[in-house]
Amino acid sequence: MKNIQIVLYDPDLVDLPQSCNIIVSVQGFKLAGHARSLCELENLLRSCPIQLVIAEPFGEEERFEEILDFLYSVRPEFDTLIVSKQNDGKFIARAFRSGVFDYIVKPFKCERYRESLIRFRCYYSLLGSSPPQWPQSVVDRIKRVRVSSQFSNQGLPKGLHQKTLDLVRSVLRESYSFVSASEVAEKAGLARSTVWRYLEYLCRIGEAVSVNQYRSQGRPTRCYHSIY
């Protein structure tokens, strides 16, 4: 999968260094540029294949929906992540109704920012690897990535152990793209059948998604990606 192109839109650019550091710490992303005005942002959207705009709309709340509509008319195939000091509930609700992928309130924890990028990477990869016609199972996987409610691991099913779960989870989170149970097993030093059970469990509790990857010959391979 090619790197996901990001543009930062912030008239003040106060948080630019911190945002850049977080972006480069997550595999699969490339900062294509930053904009201090809508004119600069429009030029970047027209000149680069941008997949994600990270926006700070503070001071432009009243016309932000209008701004989003305008930007989508310039390049319809991108998503928006808002990182803002604005914590007004009505504005945040409007932002989600406008199709914003995620909303992070300043001051934020860096891990929360990274988690959002990792979820977007998974979401973007899942969109690109899905079949032309989406069955309900694919729709549910995509929805799960966007909502991303992490469940408690208390009360593991019989036969599963926390230490092994943590190992499989760690290997999966370090994987840049979708990986098979065999690939995770090799990195974790575990049997494939054991890893498969833990991967399926992570899918059930909403920490991972799976997709069948088809090849020209043979049966499809079930592959997994962490939401976090």
Looking at the structure, do residues 138 and 217 belong to the same domain, yes or no?
yes
Last residue of a domain, one of 63, 90, 121: 121
Residues 8 and 95 in one domain: yes
The CATH number linked to 81 is 3.40.50.2300
Taking only the tens place, the pLDDT of each residue in 65-103 is 777 777 778 777 889 999 888 888 888 888 888 888 999
Write the pLDDT tens digit of every residue in 154-206: 467 889 998 999 899 999 988 878 999 999 999 999 999 999 999 999 988 77
Q: Minimal CA–CA distance to 106: which of 14, 6, 9?
A: 14
User: Does the CA dihedral 49-54-60-63 come out positive or negative?
Assistant: positive
Report the first-to-last Cα separation within the chain, whole angstroms: 18
Q: In what order do the strands lie in the sheet with 221-226?
A: 179-180, 221-226, 208-213
Task: Tell whether 95 and 50 lie within a shared domain.
Answer: yes
Distance CA 200, CA 122 (A): 17
